[in-house]
Amino acid sequence: MPTLKLRFPGGRYHATPWGHHVNEGLVEWPPSPWRLLRALVSCGFTSQRWNDVPTLASSLIEKLASVLPLYRLPEITAAHTRHYMPYIEGAKEKKTLVWDTFANIGDGEILVHWRCEINSDETVLFGNLARNLNYLGRSESWVEAELIPDAPISTDNFNAVPHCENKQRDQRYEQISLMAAIPGEDYQAWRSEQMKVVLAPFQGKKETAKLKKDRDKAEQPYPPDLIACLTRDTSWWKGHRWSQPPGSQRVLYWRPSQSIEVTAPRISHRKAVPPIEMMLLALTTPSGNKSALPSVTRTLPQAELFHRAIVGRAGNGRVIHCPELTGKDANSKALRDGHQHAHILPLDLDNDQHIDHILIYAGMGLGETAQRAISTLRRTWTKGGVGDIQLAVAGKGRLDDLRRLPDRIGTTIDSLMGTESGARTWISLTPFVPPRFIKKLGKRNDLFSQVNAELSSRGLPNAAVSIIPWHSEDVHRLRHCIRVRKRGAPPPQDVGYLLRLTFAETVHGPISLGYASHFGLGLFIAEPGDP
């Protein structure tokens, strides 16, 4: 019987109860069963790269939906902030007061226990989803989740439980309403009854294209199964005139009376968030059209756009000291750290010539401020695009953790990292732009010397350098890569090279050299076939 442990690093949980407006000053406590299931499904699409919910995940979710979970809740206080939200009405800009109510949890932990049996494969999947869950509720509710598969947990200590008709509670408890999923079998039975009514007008009529279209339209408000119900967004079910999501139900729970104190927030001494080496973001479009993602030729401008966005988000519009993102110290001077600050590397992991991921890694580590800025950034843009591009965290931790990504994208990551034993030969993935003028005379400024100087500045050994001809079919497209930054200093010469580096010993990636190497240029991958 699985148990999910939830901890909120920011010390706050933001979520508005179903059926209430944000300005009512209410907070959903505990997190509803419906919200938990939707969070797990959403995490599958972002971190596991689902195109559709797989059979194993459907089985897991339906088992969790078949029972109402028990909660062990910590002591909390309710607090709020108030701010004015601008909006446009006609030709004028107006403001409206918005209340942001949240539960101040501090270092407290929530335990959620489902009294159902799940098999070993479902347990592994549940654990993966839990580890990659980044927030619960609104995006500012950062969460760390951990699955406790079969620990001996006494349910007597759970203080928020479903209502039972034959069991009443004393004055120490209060009754609340939460949103939960209808068990899958019950939903199918209900839908079958609805379909009899909805499709009755179409029975016995001649099959025509119009009839089929009208019948399909009549079926649309009724998702085929519970998983489909969980994946429908708010605009969909409101557009079909549902008062609440199909497949959901209101259930009664008992929780301790006055479990939410309205007092001054407690000062919590929460643990510092440890730095991590990398974060990997997945890019999608609202329509799911991969061809609408930016071309790999726009690696540099996309990296610049993303970098400006996360720096701005980290400082919330103010100048902030975050050296791993800015590359500057407290006096705004460039770091002399051997390129240990953040590299923003747009990647094409499915090899369709469109950027579908962004890897952010820093040898000095990404601290709490940087992690928060990256995790909470939800969209970016591209020149000439059809709309905004959605972002979601697909992985974070150590660089070696990238090797555990699914095979579909892990193969490309392996070439970026090199095998676990490293690789000797590396080839350009994006053009190398020399950081200084190429001079025919003088050993310091020829192409090969500049490459080895770049390697040395990153603590890597010298390599034998050779030029890959541009006419090679595989690299011809890279002729059109943008090589000049929009806001930063231009390169000494707008010229790019495709190179092959051969080391005397194996080395590990990522290897990024030259001008704009922190923004995706000069990136190398292990040559195919190199052990």
Percent of the chain having pLDDT more than 70?
Answer: 90
Residue 430 has pLDDT above 80, yes or no: yes
pLDDT at 317 over 80: no
3-class DSSP assignment, residue 84:
strand
Rounded Cα distance, 339 and 511, in Å = 11
The domain locations on the chain are 3-165+173-256, 275-407, 418-531
The answer to whether 495 touches 514, Cβ cutoff 8 Å, is: no
- Give 386's pLDDT tier (boundaries 50, 70, 90): low
Q: What is the pTM of this model?
A: 0.54
Q: Calculate ∠ Cα 409-410-413, nearest 5°.
A: 100
Tokens, residue 529: 């076939």
> For residue 407, is pLDDT > 60?
no
- CB within 8 Å of 443: residues ≥ 6 apart: 449
As a CATH number, domain 275-407 is 3.30.70
Q: Is the pLDDT of residue 368 over 70?
A: yes
Distance, CA of 62 to CA of 46 (rounded, Å): 20
Structure tokens at 372: 């928060």
Q: Higher model confidence: residue 163 or residue 24? A: 163
pLDDT band at 135 (very low <50, low <70, confident <90, very high): confident
Residue 204 has a pLDDT of 80
Range picked from 17-31, 280-294, 359-373 for highest mean pLDDT:
359-373
Q: Is the dihedral of CA 502, 503, 506, 511 positive or negative?
A: negative
Low-confidence winner among 248-257, 315-324, 462-471, 477-486 (lowest mean pLDDT): 315-324
pLDDT computed for residue 153 by the predictor: 64
Classify the C-alpha dihedral 263-265-268-274 as positive or negative: positive
Q: What is the pLDDT of residue 518?
A: 92
* Least confidently predicted of 100-109, 179-188, 406-415: 406-415
SS3 content of the chain, % helix, strand, coil (to 5): 30, 25, 45
- 152 or 434, which is more confident? 434
**Averaged over 411-419, what is the pLDDT?**
79
* Of 38-42, 80-84, 102-106, 143-147, minimum mean pLDDT range: 80-84
Per DSSP, the residues of 24-58 read G----SSPPHHHHHHHHHHHHHHHS--SS--HHHH
Predicted local confidence at residue 359, as pLDDT:
92
Strand partners of residue 467 = 499
- Residue 393 in this model has a pLDDT that exceeds 80: yes
pLDDT band at 460 (very low <50, low <70, confident <90, very high): very high
pLDDT, tens digit (0-9, with 9 covering 90-100), for 513-524: 999 999 999 999
pLDDT in tens, 207-225: 888 888 888 888 888 888 8
